[in-house]
Structure 1
Amino acid sequence: MHIPDTHTKFIYEGQNKGVNFVGRAMLKLGSEKSKNKVVQEFMQKVEQEALKA
């Protein structure tokens, strides 16, 4: 896929890991919608910083 010079292809890969039993349990109990919201907020922050340049 060709991307114009005025655009950037952003690939997000990551994972959340609990550092202890309580943290792992909380991650398993969290909803998919909540997890997606965290990713969307992160991507918005990246975009805002990129537009400052």
Structure 2
Amino acid sequence: MSNHWIIPFSAAEVRTVHVGDRVVLEVRDITEEIEKRVEEERMRLREFYERLKSNTPR
């Protein structure tokens, strides 16, 4: 059995993993994943605004 969550403002993901009668915490840095998602969204917005600009009469 496991559970996980992201700690706000920390760029870390924490998982609790139950092994028998013990609970183990696993912390993982997700900075690179966040940066990748931000860059992907930035590119989508740039493409959207370029299409919008090209369809707007002057």
Taking structure 1 as the reference length, the TM-score comes to 0.43
The structure that is helix-richer by fraction is 1
The structure that is strand-richer by fraction is 2
Of the two structures, which has the highest relative contact order with CA contacts closer than 8 Å and spacing of 6 or more? 2
**Larger Rg, first or second structure (1 or 2):** 2
Taking structure 2 as the reference length, the TM-score comes to 0.40
